[in-house]
């Protein structure tokens, strides 16, 4: 998957893309399907998170070693997974291309914020030409087939012809009249979504960069952190070193390597928190939560189901 693809993802799709990388979501799916008994379920959940105990302890999320077997802590792990299982029941199997999930997912239309799809789109334009009466300038009229096949991506629409030479007031008056005649009165209100977003100021570019960093880690799991930082381009300050790194012509200073390693480590941790909060129904958020160990090779297999031609 390339940076260009990552940069085009909407906020709604970013949520799903982060969710599909979460090992916790995969565990929730497995438990929902296999339905183990109570004891087996508790053991499975405990062992799943305990694999990452050292990291959790360092982040002050897990208790001291002697208390890690306390029932109170074990119950808290089960509560955490219960949140993810509830989200799984809503979103279902997301290990497929996003568009396919939109069409096949029975609850997708209710989960997504329809306001993101309520936009005016130019289908085609006709202008006068000296040699011909009119010349058609193609735009995205070819999407008409997609509109018929996927009505959710393109909701009920009204196609109009607007004479560009007409006064604005006449155009607006005519459009208002058409809306009065054809629009369902029930939709003339603010669209809401059960799957709300966390926070009021969301930096889409920052989210896309975090996702790209995860994709780099998935594709190059054994790469050192400072190399990962340069490959993913997560630091503008060190962007000038990226070309040098790719050409392998310069030996980097230990200071640069240390700083880049810290930057990558923090960014990678934040990106994992975004994944784990997303599968708990909170997106986007980098709040500390109990996180499992990330098996990057296993995650790549899931990613390839959604992006078969994934590459960087």
Low-confidence stretches of the chain (pLDDT < 70) are: 1-5, 7, 104-157, 184-196, 198-200, 240-251
Structure-token pair, residue 127: 């202008």
pLDDT of residue 211: 94
Q: Give Cβ neighbours of residue 201 (< 8 Å, ≥ 6 apart).
A: none
pLDDT of residue 70: 82
pLDDT of residue 1: 43
List pLDDT tens digits, range 31-87: 998 888 888 888 888 888 888 888 888 888 878 877 778 888 888 888 989 999 999
List pLDDT tens digits, range 120-153: 545 455 555 555 544 444 444 444 444 444 444 4
DSSP code of residue 80: H
Residue that is written with structure tokens 């069409």 in the block: 103
Answer whether 104's CB lies under 8 Å from 110's CB.
Answer: no
Domain ranges in the chain are: 1-112+203-312, 119-187
Distance CA 155, CA 109 (A): 11
pLDDT of residue 271: 96
Query: Residue 50, class by beta-carbon neighbours within 10 Å (0-12 exposed, 13-18 middle, 19+ buried)?
Result: middle
Dmax of the chain from CA atoms?
Answer: 86
DSSP assignment of 113-171: -GGGG------EEEEE-SSSSEEEEE-SGGGHHHHHH-TTTS-S-------TTS-HHHH
Q: Give Cβ neighbours of residue 227 (< 8 Å, ≥ 6 apart).
A: 220, 245
pTM of the model: 0.71
pLDDT of residue 164: 78
Answer whether 87's CB lies under 8 Å from 95's CB.
Answer: no
């Amino acid at each position: 998957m390339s940076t260009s693809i990552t940069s085009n993802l909407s906020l709604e799709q970013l949520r799903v893309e982060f969710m599909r990388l979460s090992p916790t979501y995969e565990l929730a799916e497995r438990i929902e399907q296999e339905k183990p008994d109570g004891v087996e379920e508790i053991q499975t959940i405990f062992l799943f998170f305990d694999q990452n105990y050292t990291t959790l302890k360092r982040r002050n999320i897990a208790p001291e070693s002697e208390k890690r077997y306390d029932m109170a802590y074990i119950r808290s792990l089960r509560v955490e997974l219960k949140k993810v299982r509830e989200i799984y029941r809503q979103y279902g199997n997301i290990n497929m291309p996003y568009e396919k999930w939109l069409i096949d997912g029975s609850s997708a239309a209710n989960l997504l914020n329809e306001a993101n799809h309520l936009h005016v789109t130019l289908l085609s334009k006709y202008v006068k030409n000296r040699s011909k009466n009119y010349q058609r300038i193609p735009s995205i009229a070819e999407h008409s087939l997609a509109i018929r096949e996927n009505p959710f991506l393109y909701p009920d629409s009204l196609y109009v012809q607007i004479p560009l030479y007409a006064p604005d007031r006449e155009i607006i008056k005519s459009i208002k009249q058409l809306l009065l005649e054809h629009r369902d009165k029930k939709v003339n209100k603010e669209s809401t979504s059960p799957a709300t977003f966390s926070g009021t100021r969301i930096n889409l570019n920052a989210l896309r960069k975090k996702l790209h960093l995860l994709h780099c880690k998935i594709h190059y799991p054994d790469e050192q952190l400072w190399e990962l930082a340069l490959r993913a381009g997560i630091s503008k300050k060190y962007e000038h070193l990226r070309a040098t790194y790719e050409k392998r012509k310069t030996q980097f200073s230990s200071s640069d390597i240390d700083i880049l390693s810290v930057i990558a480590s923090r960014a990678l941790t934040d990106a994992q928190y975004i994944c784990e909060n997303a599968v708990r129904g909170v997106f986007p958020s980098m709040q500390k939560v109990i996180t499992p160990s990330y098996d990057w090779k296993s995650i790549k297999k899931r990613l390839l189901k959604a992006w078969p031609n994934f590459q960087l």
